[in-house]
Amino acid sequence: MGRLLAQRLGFRFLDTGAMYRAVTLAALRKGIDLADEAALTRLADSLELRLVPGDSGDRLLMDGEDVTDLLRQQKVERGVSLVARVPGVRAAMVRQQQAIAREGPVVMVGRDIGTVVLPDARVKVFLKASVDVRPGACRQTTRRCGPTCSAATSWTPSAPPRRCGQQRSRSR
């Protein structure tokens, strides 16, 4: 929904989860233990993440490399919740999200956007997907990112709502 809104408004679109996936991808590439909070924080502080326009929507660059199509790999999906719960990583990502917002109009989706990342945003919308909507979202994600994506297999009718992001403390 956020992507569609951004297209209609002519704004950039940022799913902040992609930034945490980029940190996870970088950690996996460098062989950093995903339980090593200090190393993950140093890594997150050192990465430059940029949002740039692409033919099929905005792309995420990590240190100049377009990593958009790599962020939904199963190995990244499996590790992102470990990385996203690290306070130092969250603080680094908040700074980068705020920098992206200063570059111009953006529709930003993710946790704590309206309360921590952009508390003074002129417009804030909070939506929470129901269990009925989740399978469609999984199918759309799979179509966008291809067969390496784990989202298509992560939903079953009896699956509880995703809570990994809801159970950690807020961003800093």
Residues 97 and 50 in one domain: yes
Residues 76 and 152 in one domain: no
Domain around 35? 2-119
Counted domains in the chain: 2
Closest-CA residue to 64 (of 49, 42, 86, 79): 49
- Whether 62 is covered by a domain: the verdict is yes
Sequential pLDDT tens for the chain (172 residues): 888 888 899 999 999 999 999 999 999 999 999 999 999 999 999 999 999 988 878 899 999 999 999 999 999 999 999 999 999 999 999 999 999 999 999 999 988 898 899 988 888 787 777 777 655 555 555 444 454 444 433 434 444 444 444 444 555 5
Instruction: Please report how many Cα atoms fall inside a 13 Å half-sphere around the Cα of residue 140, on the Cβ side.
Output: 8
